Amino acid sequence: FGDVGIEQVRVSETSQLAGRTIEEMQLRREHGVIVLAIRRADGNMELSPLPDAKVGGGDFLIVMGQREGLRKLERLFEVRP
């Protein structure tokens, strides 16, 4: 499997991806990253989220993928001006 890891990535409230669904983000296709779970800002966990699950600012994505894809994903969810 190579250099595969599991990370928890915070979605910034000002990220361009906040408010989109997992399907709209195209994380698997664009970055080779699989969303295993969403830890909501209120602390609730949503395991194996469906493609239509909306991800909000302050949520955390628990994702699995190649290290390079995970690093790119972290940059995507950072604060945007």
Nearest to 39 by CA among 73, 7, 3: 7
Q: So what's the pLDDT on residue 79?
A: 58
Is the predicted pLDDT of residue 73 greater than 90, yes or no? no
Q: Are 69 and 59 in contact (CB under 8 A)?
A: no
Mean pLDDT of all residues belonging to the chain: 90
Enter the pTM of the model. Answer: 0.88
Q: So what's the pLDDT on residue 7?
A: 93
Give me the residue label for tokens 């790119």.
72
The pLDDT tens digits of the residues spanning 22-42 come to 999 999 998 899 999 999 999
Q: So what's the pLDDT on residue 80?
A: 55
